[in-house]
Structure formats: structure tokens, C-alpha cells
Structure 1
Amino acid sequence: MIQIDRLTKRFDAIHGIFDVTLRVEPGSVFGFIGPNGAGKSTTIRHLMGLLHADSGKASVMGHDCWRESEQVKASVGYLPGEINYPQDMTGEEIIRLTSRLHRTSREREDRLRTIFPFDTSLKVRKMSKGMKQKLGIVTCFMKDVPVYVLDEPTSGLDPLMQERLIEWVLAEKAAGKAILMSSHHFPEMEKTCDRAALIRDGRIIIEADIDELKRRSVKAYQIGLKSEVEAQALADKVGIRDGRTVTVTVSTSDELNALIATLTSFEVESLTSGADELEHMFMEYYGEVTS
């Protein structure tokens, strides 16, 4: 559904994207992960026919994203990273314009309005970031199309709306849609994505199934003990002590089960986990490349 082959766009000697290749299949969500300026939005702009590549190719449903951008835009629901609607239009006016342009279903529109409610009578310039994001989500998904491209889709949303968007994306995936999602919100990536790529300095440095990425990740746990003596005794076995807290890292379920068995001999007062697995993986690879 989405196919990018060795896409390259040089802005100068070090900025741009270089030999980016990825595929997004029907009924799947592909996560696009990377720090700011890594090349995520530049890649997405090529998909939407907004930039012309120096070399390589981007296509959606077999249509070249630059030469056949009209057909591509008709097949794609796009949520940009920056919501930039005309400031003096109301939310209702933008929704009605979207409906006329794309001949959307009123039933689908009403469902989206219910799930992502906001005051549509307000002008865009008076909307909060969260309201603008919900307007972008509604107008993006009003188009019942086979492909969606979402650039930081949960930006500005409260936790309830984030969960609702995750549920909506999962339902669209189950309906056979192909979804490319750029995000820094790692829990949503873990919950929705089948596969992901990490991009840095315009180059993809790793791509794999989400489960495989999580298996490669090391998970950190902070264990609070009753005394520093107990903490030192545990640290001598499995971790690093800081006062009464011991940090332990595990990379497999066997290691986690062994840790749990070890803790039965100690007076544990607290147990907390560190970063989400996908976030920890991201930091591992980001640090690995920059070191």
C-alpha cells in the first residue's frame, strides 16, 4: 500500500533523507520513530507529493507520489504534524468543507464527532492545541480511504483522547487499512504498531517487528528495600545500589522470573519500572549511534 525505495532528498551535505526504504502492508500499522529533525516529516512530505526527491521513489497503491499526487491524495487520509487550518474559519466550516471535497459519510463523521468531541463553533485561532488536534483527527478520518499517514497524531491530546485514538487506529487496522504513524509517544506505538523503523540523521538505522524490537530491549526496574544493608545485599547479587534503591536490568522473561525469585528473600518496599520497552530500545540505539 505504501512503498518507499531508496528515497533521497539532500538539503545540504548532512541534512535530508538518504536511501530511505520501507513498506506498509494492508491491515498493519508501521511506526516511524526518531528524534526531531531525523527525517520523519521530510519522508512523509514526499509521500504526500509536497517534496520532489533527488532520487529513489515513493508510491501509494502503485501511484507515484510526485507524478500522480492527485490520485495519491484521493487514497490517503493525512494528519500533519502541525495543524494549520485557516485561522478565521470555524471547526464546523472546516468539517463541512472536508465533507464537500471528499464526499465523506455523514455516519462516519458523526461517530468521529462523538469520539473526539470539541466545540466546532469556535474559530481555529481561538482553539487550544488539543481542540485543533481533534479537528485534524476528525477531518483526517472522515475520509474512508485505504491508507492513512499520521504525523505525531496524539500531540496535544489528553490521556483519554489518546486512548480513544489508539482504539480507532486499531479498528482501522482491523478493517484492512495501511497506516504509517510517526510518533514520540511510545505507549501508543507499542499498542498499535506491527513493525517500526528508527530513523536518525536521515537514515534508517534499524527496522523490525515490534515484538522483535521489544525482545532486543533491556528493561530497567528500581527496587526499594527496607534498609541500605538489604539494598547492598541485593546489589551484590543483581544490580546497582543508590541508597536504599537498587536498579536491575533484564532482557528476557527468564531473567525477569529469576529476579522475582531472588526478591522473595528481601523486604521489598517498592518496585517500579523504567522507560517503556520501545522507548528504552530507542534510547539504546540512539545512544549507540551517537557514541
Structure 2
Amino acid sequence: MIQIEKLTKRFDQTHGIFDVSFRVEPGTVFGFIGPNGAGKSTTIRHLMGLLHADSGKATVMGHDCWKETETVKALVGYLPGEINYPQDMTGEEVIRLTRRLHVTSAERERQLLDVFAFDTGLKVRKMSKGMKQKLAIVTCFMKDVPVYVLDEPTSGLDPLMQVRLVDWVLAEKAAGKAILMSSHHFPEMEKTCDRAALIRDGRMIIEEEMAELKRRSKKTYRIGMKDETAAIKLSEQIGTREQTFVTVSLSTSEELNGLIELLARHDIASLTSGTDELEHMFMQYYGEAT
């Protein structure tokens, strides 16, 4: 559905994107991860026909994103990373304009406004960042199209709206849509993505199935002991100690089984696992590339 082949755009000798390649298949979500300035938005702008590549090719359902940009735009729902609607328009006016520009569904629009509710009578200039983001989500998904490109889709959303967006994306995936999602929010990537890639300084560092990335990611456990003496005793065998807590990072199921056997011989007060495992793994790759 989305295919990028050796895409290169040089702004100067060190800035741009260089030989970027990946595919997004129907019924999948592809996660595009990287620090600010890495090349994520530049790649996405090529997909939307906003930039012309120096070399390489970007296509959506076989259509060249530069030469057939009108066809591509009709096939793609786009959520930009920077929301920039006319400041004096109301939310309802923006939605009405979207209806005129694209083929939309009234039923789908009502459903979106129920899920991502906000005051549509408010002018854009008076909206909070979260309200603008919900307006952008509604106008993106009003188009019932085969492909969606989402650039930092949860930016500005509160935790409840983040959960609702994840649920919506999963439903779209189940309906066979192809979704490219650029994000710094790792929990949403873990929940939605089938495959993910890290880009740094305009170059792809790693691309892998999400299940494999999770399997290889480090898992951090924080073990609470009864007192410092018990914590010192455990830390002499494994991990690092801070007061009455011992922290250990594991990479394999064999290491986890070994930890369980070890803890069975100690009096444990608490055991918690970290939630940033995938983020930690990507930051390791990013660090190795510097």
C-alpha cells in the first residue's frame, strides 16, 4: 500500500534523508521512530507530494506520490505533526470544509465526534492544543480511505483520548487499512504497530517486526526488600542497589527464569516491572549509532 524505495533528499551534505526504504502492507501499522530532525517528517512530506526527491521513489497503491499527487491525496488520510488551521475558522467550519474537499461519511463523522468530543463551535485560535489535535483526528479519519499517515497523532491528547485513538487505530487496522505512524510515545507503538523502524540523521538504523523487537528488548525489574541488609545481600548476587531496592535488567526468558529461582530464596517485599522497555531498546540503538 505504501512503498518507499531508496528515497533521498539532500538539503546539504549532512541534512536530509538518504536511501530510506520500507513498505507498509494492508492491515498493518508501521511505526516510524526517531528524534527531532531525524527525517521522519521529511519522509512523510514526500508521501504527501509536498517534496520532490533527488532520487528514489515513494508510491501509494502504485501511484507515484509526486507525479500523481492528487490521486494519492484522495487515497490517504493525513494527520500532520503541526496543526495549522485558519485561526478564525470554527471547528465546525473546518469540518464542513473537509466535507467539501473530500469524500466523507456522515455516519463516520458522527462516530468520530462522539469518540473525540470537543466544542466544534469554538474558533481555532481559542482552542487548546488537545482540542486542535482532536479536530485534526476527526478531519483525518472522516475520509474512509485505504491508507493513513499519522505524524505524532497523540501529541497534546490526555491519557483517555490517547487510549481512544489507539483503539480507533486498531479498528482501522482490523478493517485492512495500511497505517504509517510516526511517534515518540512508545506505549502506543507497542500496542498498535506490527513493524517499526528507527531513523537517525536521515538514515534507517533498524527495521524489524514489533514482536521481535519486544522479544529482544531489555526488561527492567525493581525488587523491594525488607531492609537494606537484605537488599545488600541480593545486590551482591545480581543488579544494582538503591536503599532497600534492587534493580535488574534482563534480555532473555532464561535470565528471567534464573531471576525467579533466585528470588524464591529471598524474602521479597515487592516486585515491579518497567514500562519503557521498547524505548530503552531503541535508545540503545540510537546510542550505538552516535
| TM-score, structure 2 as length reference | 0.98
Question: 2:147 touches 2:177 (CA, 8 Å); kept in 1?
Answer: yes
Secondary structure at 2:230 match in 1: helix
SS of equivalent residue, structure 1 residue 117:
coil
Following superposition, the deviation at residue 275 of structure 1 comes to 4.3
Q: Residues of 2 paired with 1:229 and 1:85: CA distance?
A: 60
Q: Which residue of 2 aligns with 1:220?
A: 220
d(CA) in 1 for partners of 2:40, 2:268: 43
Do 2:150 and 2:180's aligned partners in 1 also have CA atoms closer than 8 Å?
A: yes
1:128-176 alpha-carbon deviations (Å, 9 max, x no partner):
0000000000000000000000000000001111010001000000100
1:289 is aligned to 289
Taking the aligned partners of 1:247 and 1:289, their CA distance within structure 2 comes to 26
Deviation at 1:240, TM superposition (A): 1.7
Corresponding pairs, count: 290
Is the deviation greater in 215-224 or in 178-187? 215-224
What does residue 69 of structure 2 align with?
69
The unaligned stretches of length 5 or more in structure 1 are none
1:40 is aligned to 40
- Preserved contact between residue 220 and residue 277 of structure 2 (Cα < 8 Å): no
SS in 2 for 1:17: strand
Amino acid at match of 2:234: L
Could you tell which deviates more after superposition, 67-76 or 246-255? 246-255
Q: Which position in structure 1 is the counterpart of 2:248?
A: 248
Q: Map of 1:1-291 to 2, 5 A cutoff?
A: 1-290=1-290
- In the alignment, the residues of structure 2 paired with residue 119 and residue 242 of structure 1 have an alpha-carbon distance, to the nearest angstrom, of 48
Query: How far has the Cα of 1:277 moved from its partner?
Result: 2.1
2: CA distance between counterparts of 1:275 and 1:42?
30
Q: Give the TM-score normalised by the residue count of structure 1.
A: 0.97
Q: Deviations over 1:161-198 (max 9, x none)?
A: 10100010000001000000000000100000000000
Give the whole-Å Cα distance in 1 for the aligned partners of 2:154 and 2:256.
32
Tell me the secondary structure at the aligned position of residue 49 of structure 2. Answer: coil
Unaligned runs of 5+ in 2: none
Q: Which amino acid aligns with 2:96?
A: R
Q: CA deviation at 1:272?
A: 2.7
- Tell whether the 8 Å contact from 2:146 to 2:176 is kept in structure 1 after alignment: yes
How far does residue 269 in structure 1 lie from its aligned partner after superposition?
Answer: 2.6
Identity %: 78
Output the aligned Cα RMSD: 1.0
Preserved CA contact (<8 Å) 2:39 2:202: yes
Following superposition, which runs of at least 4 residues in structure 1 exceed 3 angstroms of deviation?
Answer: none
Q: Deviation at 1:37?
A: 0.7
Is the 8 Å Cα contact of residues 77 and 145 (structure 2) preserved in structure 1?
Answer: yes
1:58 is matched by which residue type in structure 2? A
Distance in structure 1 (CA, Å) of the matches to 2:283 and 2:260: 25
Distance 2:177 2:99 in 1: 20
2:35 alignment partner, SS class: coil
Q: Aligned partners of 2:262, 2:237: CA distance in 1, in Å?
A: 9
The alignment partner of 1:237 has SS state of coil
Partners of 2:234 and 2:10 in 1: how far apart? 52
The whole-number CA distance in structure 2 between the counterparts of 1:16 and 1:282 is 21
Taking the aligned partners of 1:270 and 1:153, their CA distance within structure 2 comes to 36
